[in-house]
Amino acid sequence: MTHSHDDHAPIQASEEVSEFEILETAIRELSIEHGLFSREDHRRFSEWAESVGPSGGSRLVAKAWVDPEFKKRLLADGTETCKEVGIDWRDPTGSGTPSDYTYFYVLENTPKVHNVIVCTLCSCYPRPVLGMSPDWYRTPNYRRRLVRWPREVIAEFGLHFPSDVEVRVHDSNQKSRFMVMPMRPEGTEGWSEEQLASIITRDTMIGVAVPQVDWTATTPPSDNGGAAR
């Protein structure tokens, strides 16, 4: 099978304005014009949404790593179990939003199965637990290629798996959101939930990275004073 150069362009953020951004702008301006909300409402919501970040997801995974019963509940019903850490997907005045009225699934990685998430239609993403999606997640390049060549795409992020590890791609939709529960790395025995949460970064919960004991979202590998130590 041959693939075009465009099909194998590296995953990266695009500076081009997408059709979805054009549509969002048009709908937003019409909504403001018709009085559904004001520009101030939109500004305040945007600031709130951008402040959420992936800490909610990190707390969920860290707690699941140390509490087997919590882990069972989280895998069985992610939407309901999120409430135990203060995240309510159905409450637009809390950490959910009207567009996030959906069912939330947590996908457990194992030595033989690696999960990764995408939204091939647009950019559906588990915002209440991971915050705003990264730019590259929304690019047609990532969305189109991940479902066709998942191993090749995640290799561009530095992940390489032997042939006996199954790579499963989960495609988000209007009513379903997914998050990956990465495997707990060796060398973290005896760590607190707070220490564990520090190495569970956004990309590990998307599925394009795995947790490293010497790397956090705020402390790069070259810094020997790693926060989790």
Active site residues: 119, 122-124
How many angstroms from the chain centroid is the CA of residue 133? 7
- pTM over cut 0.75: yes
Task: Give residues with Cβ within 8 angstroms of 89, minimum separation 6.
Answer: 79, 82, 95, 96, 100, 101, 102, 104, 128
Residue 6 has pLDDT above 60, yes or no: no
Q: What is the pLDDT of residues 44-67, one digit of tens each?
A: 877 877 777 899 999 999 999 999
DSSP 35: T
pLDDT score, position 104: 94
When computed from its CA atoms, the radius of gyration of the chain, rounded to whole angstroms, is 18
Domains of the chain: 19-49 (no CATH), 53-206 (3.90.330.10)
Sorting pLDDT into bands at 50, 70 and 90, what band is 92? low
% of residues, the chain, pLDDT over 70: 83
Sorting pLDDT into bands at 50, 70 and 90, what band is 110? very high
Residues in the chain: 229
* Token representation of residue 98: 């009207």
Q: Contact, 202 vs 151, CB < 8 A?
A: no
Residue (of 120, 90, 122, 118) closest to 178 by Cα position: 118
Sorting pLDDT into bands at 50, 70 and 90, what band is 42? confident
Element (H, E) at 115: strand 113-118
- As beta bridge partners, residue 108 has 181
